[in-house]
A = this chain, B = another copy of it.
C-alpha cells in the first residue's frame, strides 16, 4: 500500500529538547558546565516517568511529567530556585525546531502527502512549540496522547492516527528520533523511520524500524 501520511514524533524529532537548557546557559554563565548533563538527566527522567506512569496507570499531562523530571535533575545537579525552574520550563515550551524541518515538510506537501504530529506532549505544549517554530500551516493534525490518557508506546496512542486521520497503518510513515518510539510504531504496523541523530546502537526490542536516517532531510524520498 502507498504511503499517504507522514506522522512525526515531536520532542527530539522535530524539536531539539536540549535547546531549553542550552538557551538558559546562553543567558547564565553559571550554567555553562552543567547544562548538558542537566539536559540529559531531565530528558532521561521525563521518558522514564512517562513509561512508569503508562505501566501503573497513573497518567498526568506531559507538562507535569516534564516538571517532575526537571525537579529530579535540578536536585541531582545541586540547582535550586523557582526562577531557574520557571525559566527552564518556559524555554521547554518554545524549543528550537531542527533546521531542516520547514523544507522537509514543504517537500512532503509538494508530493501531495499529509503531515501530522503524534506526541506525548500535552496540547498546550504542542501548540506553543508548533507556533514558535512557525510550522503550523504545514501540519494537517497535531495529535496528543491526552486524548487517550496514556503515554507512548501504548498501542492506543498509535491508534489515534487511524481514528483521527482515517488512514490504515500501512499508509503511514511514522518518523521518530527515539529508538523505542520507532520500535513501538513498527510493532504497531506503521512503516517507520528512526532518525538516529546521535549515532546510537539500534534498540533491541520486539520490532525494528524499516529505515534509519541521520537527520530528517531525506524523509520525502521514503514515501
Count residues of A near B (Cβ-Cβ below 8 Å): 31
Is residue A184 contacting chain B, with contact meaning CB distance below 8 A?
yes
- Chain B contacts of A45 at CB under 8 A? 203-204
A117 to chain B, nearest CB (A): 20
A203 and B72 in contact, given A48-B180, A180-B48 (Cβ under 8 angstroms): yes
Interface residues of A in 175-223 (CB under 8 A from B): 180, 183-184, 187, 200-206
Is residue A163 contacting chain B, with contact meaning CB distance below 8 A?
no
Interface residues of A in 47-63 (CB under 8 A from B): 48-49, 51-58
- Chain B contacts of A206 at CB under 8 A? 53, 56, 58
Complex alpha-carbon distance, A111 and B69, angstroms: 40
Is residue A71 contacting chain B, with contact meaning CB distance below 8 A?
yes
Are A76 and B180 touching (Cβ within 8 A)? no
Are A201 and B49 touching (Cβ within 8 A)? no
**Which one, B54, B69, B204, contacts A204 given CB within 8 A?**
B69
Complex alpha-carbon distance, A201 and B45, angstroms: 11
- Enumerate chain A interface residues (CB-CB to B < 8 A): 45, 48-49, 51-58, 68-69, 71-72, 75-76, 153-155, 180, 183-184, 187, 200-206
24 residue pairs from A and B, CB less than 8 Å apart: A45-B203, A48-B180, A49-B203, A52-B153, A52-B180, A52-B183, A52-B184, A52-B205, A55-B55, A55-B153, A55-B154, A56-B153, A56-B205, A56-B206, A57-B155, A58-B205, A58-B206, A68-B204, A69-B204, A71-B201, A72-B201, A72-B202, A72-B204, A76-B200
